[in-house]
Amino acid sequence: MTQILEIRDLKALARRRVPKLFFDYADSGAWTEGTYRANEEDFAGIKLRQRVLVDMSDRSLETTMIGQKVSMPVALAPTGLTGMQHADGEMLAAQAAEAFGVPFTLSTMSICSIEDVASVTTKPFWFQLYVMREREFVLDLIDRAKAAKCSALVLTLDLQILGQRHKDLRNGLSAPPRLTPKHLWMMATRPGWCMKMLGTNRRTFRNIVGHAKSVADLSSLQAWTNEQFDPQLSWKDVEWIKERWGGPLILKGILDPEDAKIAAKTGADAIIVSNHGGRQLDGAHSSISMLPRIVEAVGDQIEVHLDGGIRSGQDVLKAIALGAKGTYIGRPFLYGLGALGKEGVTLALDIIRKEMDTTMALCGKRRITEVGRDIIAE
């Protein structure tokens, strides 16, 4: 096996180990994938200032996100179907994040449930909420997250309707997966994945099945998800969700300064500058290119976080320098998980940590909390 030195190596290994339909599900964006690519590429255009002969000893990446201590400002983003990249994926990723000292965010559309993840972790994780038309189910989800002592609710705003991903349609990916001969072949060629999957009973959307009224079994889930995302979700809904939840609230999916200004007035604790990893509005700007404008608009009123396209510790550092208080990684941890399970998630975090630490030092800084625009070259 080739040495794993960067996130790209984990991606290559995941491609070999995860059935194509699930690997493609992670490695895809909407339509032309232009925004998906821009998220990654626009980081490369930002240049750093090299400094010399400054004290580079005793460095620290420790900081806070929404007042909670983190060993570095990198959380795991909520991702659906993570338990299909690797058996019990959400539980393993949550454990890796906990040991590393960074937040794990569980998606509403996860395979392992809130209760599954709570049963294998000792510290609070974060929960991401999709607002469904079946409000009773949404209220119940919020209450379950509270009962599991989740320490933040991440409310996703940019998926009232689904963007189209060609790869998923061509692969016939559905939720839950249908077992066609093509899918069986994709799985049979990944025997290690199959063995682990056979060893768990967590293979469906366990936050939903058995909890939502109209979803008793797998056959009705697909119809349910298609009709359940609420296209009429509005800023008014943020109010009652905030009230019902009563804890730290993060609004995810802000890409426009005007929306950021409205979000800042809701009393939420943070916003995430995000285009859903390029999976929703293809043709939208990259997250990193919108960050400075959003920080300028609301940076003094609300904590600003960013996700989308982070593939290295350098990318994290650039986001922090441009005003983000925290960042999230989606695909990098999914590739780690698909490649090597829990150890792969730890490895992804470790690669990013080392890259961030070295880069910070070579820019002449010793603490992440001191990093600002002055490390960016004009």
Ligand X SMILES: Cc1cc2nc3c(=O)[nH]c(=O)nc-3n(C[C@H](O)[C@H](O)[C@H](O)COP(=O)(O)O)c2cc1C
Residues that bind ligand X (CB under 6 A): 25-26, 39, 77-80, 107, 109, 128, 156, 252, 274, 276-277, 279, 307-310, 329-331
Name the residue nearer to ligand X (CB basis): 96 or 365: 96
Smallest gap from Cβ 187 to ligand X, in A, equals 18
HSE-up of 172 (CA within 13 Å, CB side)? 10
Q: Is 86 a catalytic residue?
A: no
Q: Hey, is 154 helix, strand or coil?
A: strand
For residues 197 and 195, give the distance between their C-alpha atoms in angstroms, rounded to a whole number: 5
Task: Return d(Cα 345, Cα 130) in angstroms, integer.
Answer: 25
E strands in the chain:
63-65, 68-70, 74-76, 105-106, 126-129, 152-156, 249-254, 270-273, 303-307, 326-329
The three-state secondary structure class of 188 is helix
Q: Which residue is nearest to ligand X (CB)?
A: 330
Q: Least separation, in Å, of the C-beta of 343 and ligand X? A: 20
Cβ 249 to ligand X, closest distance in Å?
A: 14
> Residues 86, 183, 276, 305: which is the catalytic one?
276
Identify whether the C-beta of residue 361 lies closer than 8 Å to the C-beta of residue 56: yes
CB of 254 to ligand X, least distance (A): 11
Amino acid symbol at 179: L
Question: Toward ligand X, which CB reaches closer, 172 or 372?
Answer: 172
Nearer to ligand X, 124 or 308 (CB): 308
Q: Which residues does 62 contact at the CB level (< 8 Å), separation at least 6?
A: 69, 70, 71, 72, 368, 369
In the complex with ligand X, the residue whose CB is nearer, 25 or 193, is: 25
- Extract the tokens encoding 248: 């730290």
Query: How far apart are CB 191 and ligand X at their closest, in Å?
Result: 23
Least Cβ distance, residue 309 to ligand X (angstroms): 5
Measured in degrees and rounded to the nearest 5, phi and psi for residue 140 equal -65, -40
Could you give the 3-state DSSP secondary structure of residue 160? coil
The phi, psi pair for 161, rounded to 5°, reads: -130, 160
Nearer to ligand X, 298 or 329 (CB): 329
Output the smallest distance, CB 368 to ligand X, in A: 19
Q: Which of 206, 200, 217, 199 is closest to 114 using CA atoms?
A: 206
User: Rg of the chain's alpha carbons, rounded to an integer?
Assistant: 20
Pick between residue 142 and residue 365 the one whose CB is nearest to ligand X: 142
CA distance 270 to 304: 6
CA distance 122 to 214: 33
- Cβ distance to ligand X smaller for residue 95 or 128: 128
**The residue count for the chain:** 378
Token pair, residue 155, equals: 């409310």
Q: Which residues are catalytic?
A: 276
